[in-house]
Amino acid sequence: MQAIEIKNLSFNYGNIKVFDNLNLSISKGSFVTIYGKNGSGKSVLAKIISGKYKSKSLIFGKGLTKKDIYFISDDLDYDGYVMNILINSLKGLDKKEISDRVLEVSKEFKFDKVLNRNFDDICLKDKKLVGLGLALLKEPKILVLDNYFEGIDKKTRIYILRKLKKLSITIINFTNDFNDMMVSDEIFIIGEGHVLLKGGKRKVLENEEFFEKYDLGLPFIINLSNKLRFYDLIDKEYFDEKKLVDDLWK
């Protein structure tokens, strides 16, 4: 079942043509990465999918509407203490239930230590974790992340990606970092106004000719796998660093 579909999208931003007959379809409950270089239109597409830019090309799946989407960008701006920001986002629940949910989410995504601090006084990483926590408390059916992981260290990024992967919601991550792709069910690479390549993680990341043609860098683990295979140290491609290290030590 499809969560969102984009059909024949053409879009101009002022005098600049951003998309020319772009098509993509996102399955319900999947974790999707949409990659593009700077200037490829990622943020524009994120805003179209989240309903911030209106477009007749956007089609929602059965039972889904714009209200089911929560959009997070790299521009987070909230006022007040973190705990109050989170509590005020929840309505229709008793105080204990609200408090329990806030504590649960904050501990799971490791920002519980800043609950009693002013949002303006916490670091960028914690601001982003609070923004994600706020989104998850809203229980969206579709979560759109636009350049969300920029400025977050590798360890925290991997932790969050794996946590998000376990959620039973549709997640669309717009990024210009290939390393974000490693948990994806499906990848779309956009550029030149349309989708250049799409498919499952293995299908996309094994297409070395495509990456060379468009001068795109592969994720670290894929590059490492390719080099180790060249020297006959391994006989397959790895998508998980821990699994690669464990197998090399056997």
Give, for all 250 residues of the chain, the pLDDT tens digit.
Answer: 889 999 999 998 788 899 999 999 999 999 999 998 888 899 999 999 998 888 889 999 999 988 999 999 877 888 999 999 999 888 777 888 888 999 999 999 999 999 999 999 999 999 999 999 999 999 999 999 999 998 888 889 989 999 999 999 999 999 988 888 888 999 999 999 999 999 998 888 888 888 888 888 777 777 787 778 766 777 777 777 777 777 777 6
**Would you give the DSSP letter of residue 75?**
-
- H or E element that contains 243: helix 241-248
Say if CB 145 and CB 76 are below 8 A apart: no
CATH of 2-214, one of 3.30.590.20, 3.30.420.130, 3.40.50.300, 3.40.47.10: 3.40.50.300
Strands in the chain per DSSP E:
2-13, 16-27, 31-35, 58-60, 69-72, 142-146, 170-175, 186-191, 194-199
Closest CA to 202 of 216, 185, 215, 221: 185
Instruction: Please give the Cα distance from 52 to 46 (Å, whole number).
Output: 8
* Domain locations in the chain as residue ranges: 2-214, 219-250
Residue 132 token pair: 């994600």
- Kindly give the interhelix angle for 124-137 and 95-108, rounded to the nearest 10 degrees: 130
Tell which phi-psi region holds residue 138, choosing left (phi > 0), alpha (psi between -120 and 50) or beta.
alpha
- The total of other beta-carbon atoms located within 10 Å of residue 73's CB is 17
